[in-house]
Amino acid sequence: MWPMTLYLKYRPQTVPELDLKAVRESLGKTLSNKDLPAGRQSLPHAWLFSGPRGVGKTSAARVLAKYINCRGKEKPCNKCDLCLGITAGACPDVVEIDAASNRGIDEIRQLREGVGLAPMQAKFKVYIIDEVHMLTSEAANALLKTLEEPPPHVMFVLCTTEAEKLPETVISRCTRVVFSKPSLEEIVEKLKRVAGEEKLKVDHGQLILIAKAARGSFRDAIKMLEQVMLGGKLDEIEGAGEFLEMGTDEALAYVNKLAERGVNLRTFVEKCVEELREKLLETKDVSLISKIEELERAYGRMKDAAVPQLPLEIFVIERAGESKSIRAGGEKKSEGPTIKKQEPVVGGNLGGHMLDDVLSHWPEVMKAVRPKNHSVEALLRSTKPVGFDGRDLILEAFYEFHKKQLETERCRVIVEQTVSEVLGVDVVALKMQLGHGSTVAKATGGDGGEELVKAAEEIFKR
Ligand SMILES: [Zn+2]
């Protein structure tokens, strides 16, 4: 894997490298006006960087910290010990605090104590407080006191995605820099630079696609570019948003399509989770939380699932089950699980001892299938033989979806040939049926989703 993520690798390190043109210009202007050594003292002591996530606020804060502390001539030189220390996040005088997880009065008190002490190496102590609007009001008031009378060796850079939540008294103490959502061109520009330096073959059209899908976040754009580099496909990344909106049938078919095309499903799930996270932060819609948790569970399971796509399919079906129970009480027909009751092709235990023969040889069959086609082997794991008469082999699948895949010519032939080889019979004809007899029958009833999920989860236990 990469020694560090591309986002960190291509973090702007100087003012001219800042990604947003407006910020580059306004910050550059403020700094160059006060560029005299003595004048540095007269730079603002409190800054407020506000704007959406992923647009480079904390990166800019670090550039600022380097700028005022750099020992070099050209600031920041990115060569002196202070610049390097700050870039590495290892400078004791530049303190980054995530207010989302350090919200309370105690943390701010601690900070105020530290503020009183002289810097250890640098000229200025810089406190970068991220998501500053998350501070409790008590903590925000304590911070305000420090902002009102900052020691001359201290600079604050407050970063926030929600400036309107900050007390007016805090805002008025700060020099504000507004980070607006980047334009498509700005994101493409950034991607171009990263792709160029990484010597990536990505054409302009693809960069535009990524930039669009990133919806105003440099961070997301670069992550997507990274996924493409790691072998992901562009449409798997684009599709995450649509996927989350799809109905059950469509979503299951979509998962199948991705799997067939060899798309990395874990990458896809990562993208879905990110998508939901963004929505959650935007809308604070708590109903998204369970969705995120379920996806993460699927993500964990995908690592060693026999059928890699199954955890994602379970997610889809679970969601269908849930929206169904939410709607329960209404008379509307739901879009729940799509498996329909189906008459068994043949009764459960056709050809008693012949079936036993198949069952006892089944591990061998799986083993023999594996080198021929890995995904057929994986599919077989979610089936079981329920009948054999010397010619017709009946396999029960728990999912319509897997049944259909095994019924395709390509898969069917592999199974038939392998079984006939292992059992030493001339002709085998594969017949698929949908299983768990009673489970599936129930699945057409009111709470089919649950039953189905149970059945599917059994597969994992094996
Ligand atoms: Zn330097």
Q: Is residue 460 part of a domain?
A: no
My answer on whether 29 and 150 are in the same domain is yes
Domain with 222 in it: 184-327
Number of structural domains in the chain: 3
Q: What is the pLDDT of residues 13-61, one digit of tens each?
A: 999 999 999 999 999 988 877 554 544 557 899 999 999 989 999 999 9
My answer on whether 39 and 109 are in the same domain is yes
Find the range with the poorest average confidence among 6-10, 178-182, 302-306.
302-306
My answer on whether 215 and 360 are in the same domain is no
R_g of the chain computed on alpha carbons:
30
Expressed in angstroms and rounded, the spacing between residue 86 Cα and the centre of ligand 1 is: 9
pLDDT tier at 355 (50, 70, 90 boundaries)?
confident
Q: Is residue 412 part of a domain?
A: yes
Q: What is the pLDDT of residues 361-377, one digit of tens each?
A: 888 898 888 888 777 88
pLDDT tier at 232 (50, 70, 90 boundaries)?
low
pLDDT tier at 284 (50, 70, 90 boundaries)?
confident
Instruction: Write the CATH number for 302.
Output: 1.20.272
Q: Is residue 454 part of a domain?
A: no
The angle subtended at Cα 41 by Cα 37 and Cα 43, nearest 5°, is 105
Judge contact between 179 and 47, C-beta under 8 A.
no
My answer on whether 16 and 67 are in the same domain is yes
Expressed in angstroms and rounded, the spacing between residue 73 Cα and the centre of ligand 1 is: 8
- pLDDT over threshold 50, residue 311: yes
| DSSP labels, 204-218 | HHHHHHHHHHTTT-H
Residue 57's pLDDT is 96
My answer on whether 148 and 232 are in the same domain is no
My answer on whether 138 and 227 are in the same domain is no
Instruction: Write the CATH number for 407.
Output: 3.30.300.180
My answer on whether 151 and 296 are in the same domain is no
Instruction: Write the CATH number for 111.
Output: 3.40.50.300
Residue 394's pLDDT is 92
How many residues are listed for the chain in this entry? 462
Judge contact between 133 and 51, C-beta under 8 A.
no
Expressed in angstroms and rounded, the spacing between residue 75 Cα and the centre of ligand 1 is: 6
My answer on whether 171 and 259 are in the same domain is no
Distances (CA, A) of 132 to 77, 143, 167, 412: 29, 10, 11, 60
Q: Is residue 89 part of a domain?
A: yes
CA proximity to 192, closest of 179, 202, 182: 202
- Per residue in 171-207, is it b (16+ CB within 10 Å) or e — as a string? eebbeebebeebeeebbbbbbeebbeeeebebeeebb
Expressed in angstroms and rounded, the spacing between residue 10 Cα and the centre of ligand 1 is: 18
My answer on whether 132 and 11 are in the same domain is yes
Expressed in angstroms and rounded, the spacing between residue 76 Cα and the centre of ligand 1 is: 5
My answer on whether 256 and 291 are in the same domain is yes
For residue 262, what is the DSSP state? T
Q: Is residue 344 part of a domain?
A: no
CA proximity to 220, closest of 97, 96, 89, 56: 56
- Give the mean pLDDT of 255-280: 83
Expressed in angstroms and rounded, the spacing between residue 94 Cα and the centre of ligand 1 is: 14
CA proximity to 86, closest of 3, 141, 13: 13
Q: What is the pLDDT of residues 134-178, one digit of tens each?
A: 999 999 999 999 999 889 999 999 999 999 999 999 999 999 999
d(C-alpha 229, C-alpha 251), whole Å:
26
- pLDDT over threshold 90, residue 241: no
My answer on whether 299 and 368 are in the same domain is no
Judge contact between 143 and 171, C-beta under 8 A.
no
Q: Please give the residue that has the higher pLDDT: either 442 or 432.
A: 432
HSE, CB side, 13 Å, CA atoms: give it for residue 383.
31
Expressed in angstroms and rounded, the spacing between residue 153 Cα and the centre of ligand 1 is: 18
Expressed in angstroms and rounded, the spacing between residue 72 Cα and the centre of ligand 1 is: 5
Q: Is residue 461 part of a domain?
A: no
My answer on whether 102 and 227 are in the same domain is no
